[in-house]
């Protein structure tokens, strides 16, 4: 039988296994490349009937679980601009929340609401504010509605109100830069009026309208926050919709716009078309 020889070695019997090779040394496994996380400010046009928290949760899902927050709550019945903060933008929340706001509201006259909006208990009084009504401007003392997110001894006021507890809302000083009656419908069966309000952060439009005696907000829309306008906003994502972060303003862009607006807020919020027309 012909012998088989290993290269450089002696004879090897037929059918025998070649010697196993020593294991090769390998380095540590390369980590998977990190997926860049979105960062920035998203302008959302919130519809009526959902909470600001609902909008934030929808954006979080659409961006794959990114860290999110917002810069100023809108009531469920209200619509309009909501600044949703993504990633690093959550660090500038306080700076954005301090920007002035611009609202339009449609008010029902001759009636009052226990919550200052259509979700409360409505009482028709027939007492109408004068036309035009005296509208406060400048620094004013305001008492927020009991159905609000203001905390009383660590708990939201609206939760205490729903339980029927008695308490008094603390007054606060706010600034009303502009308060105008846009139009008024004198129909005695359904008297309504529209108002434009530009105010400091922390101002409750529901309280401003309730103080007209007698009136409450039927609709409320936030049309601007500092330099950010609802005309540039997008609707919140639908369930199952995946977003590309193309609509995001970078943190640097948002800060630059806010800083530029700080000294001339009037020009920042003034050029917005009216929403409620007669």
Q: DSSP letter at 234?
A: B
Of the two residues 90 and 272, the one the predictor is more confident about is 90
3.30.70, 1.10.10, 3.10.450, 1.10.1200: CATH of 38-99+226-272 = 3.30.70
**pLDDT > 80? residue 270:** no
Q: DSSP letter at 249?
A: B
Most confident of 22-31, 84-93, 232-241: 84-93
pLDDT > 90: what percent of the chain? 60
Measured between alpha carbons, how far is 114 from 202 in angstroms, rounded to an integer? Answer: 20
Tokens of 253: 């862009």
Q: How far is CA 73 from the centre of its chain?
A: 6
**pLDDT > 50? residue 175:** yes
DSSP annotation string for 33-70? PPPPPP-EEEEEEEPTTS-HHHHHHHHHHHTTS--EEE
**pLDDT > 60? residue 272:** no
User: What global pTM score does this model have?
Assistant: 0.81
| Candidate list 45, 54, 75, 117, residue with the active-site label | 75
Tokens of 70: 């917002």
> Among this protein's residues, is 54 annotated catalytic?
no
Measured between alpha carbons, how far is 220 from 78 in angstroms, rounded to an integer? Answer: 5
Measured between alpha carbons, how far is 196 from 180 in angstroms, rounded to an integer? Answer: 5
Measured between alpha carbons, how far is 145 from 179 in angstroms, rounded to an integer? Answer: 19
- For 255, the 3-state DSSP assignment is helix
* Listed residue (59, 54, 53, 57) closest to 41, CA to CA: 59
For the domain 101-223, what is the CATH superfamily, name and number?
Pseudouridine synthase (3.30.2350.10)
- For 208, the 3-state DSSP assignment is helix
The mean per-residue pLDDT over the stretch 118-124 comes to 93
**Which residues in the chain are classed under CATH 3.30.2350.10?**
101-223
Of the two residues 11 and 185, the one the predictor is more confident about is 185
**pLDDT > 70? residue 105:** yes
Residue 161 near residue 205 (C-beta atoms within 8 A) = no
**pLDDT > 70? residue 30:** no
Least confident range from 41-50, 92-101, 178-187, 257-266: namely 257-266
Q: DSSP letter at 204?
A: -
**Which residues in the chain are classed under CATH 3.30.70?**
38-99+226-272
pLDDT at 163: 80
As to burial, measured by CB atoms within 10 angstroms (0-12 exposed, 13-18 middle, 19+ buried), residue 163 is: exposed
């Amino acid at each position: 039988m012909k012998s088989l020889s290993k290269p450089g070695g002696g004879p090897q019997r037929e059918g025998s296994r070649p010697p196993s090779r020593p294991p090769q040394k390998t380095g540590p496994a390369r980590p998977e490349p990190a997926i860049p996380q979105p960062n920035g400010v998203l302008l959302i046009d919130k519809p009526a009937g959902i909470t600001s928290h609902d909008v934030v949760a929808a954006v979080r899902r659409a961006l794959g679980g990114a860290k999110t927050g917002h810069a100023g709550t809108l009531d469920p019945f209200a619509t309009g601009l909501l600044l949703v903060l993504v990633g690093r933008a959550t660090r500038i929340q306080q700076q954005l929340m301090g920007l002035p706001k611009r609202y339009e509201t449609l008010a029902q006259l001759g009636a009052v609401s226990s919550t200052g909006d259509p979700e409360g208990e409505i009482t028709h009084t027939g007492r109408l504010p004068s036309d035009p009504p005296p509208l406060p401007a400048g620094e004013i003392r305001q008492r927020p509605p009991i159905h609000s997110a203001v905390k009383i001894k660590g708990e939201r006021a609206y939760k205490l109100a729903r339980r029927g507890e008695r308490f008094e809302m603390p007054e606060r000083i706010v600034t009303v830069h502009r308060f105008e009656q846009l139009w008024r419908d004198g129909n005695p069966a359904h008297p309504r009026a529209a108002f434009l309000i530009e105010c400091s952060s922390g101002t409750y439009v529901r309280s401003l309208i309730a103080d007209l005696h007698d009136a409450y907000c039927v609709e409320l829309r936030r049309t601007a926050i500092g330099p950010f306008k609802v005309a540039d906003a997008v609707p919140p994502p639908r369930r199952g919709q995946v977003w590309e972060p193309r609509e995001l303003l970078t943190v640097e862009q948002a800060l630059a716009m806010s800083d530029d607006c700080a000294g001339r807020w009037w020009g920042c919020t003034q050029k917005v078309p009216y929403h409620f027309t007669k």
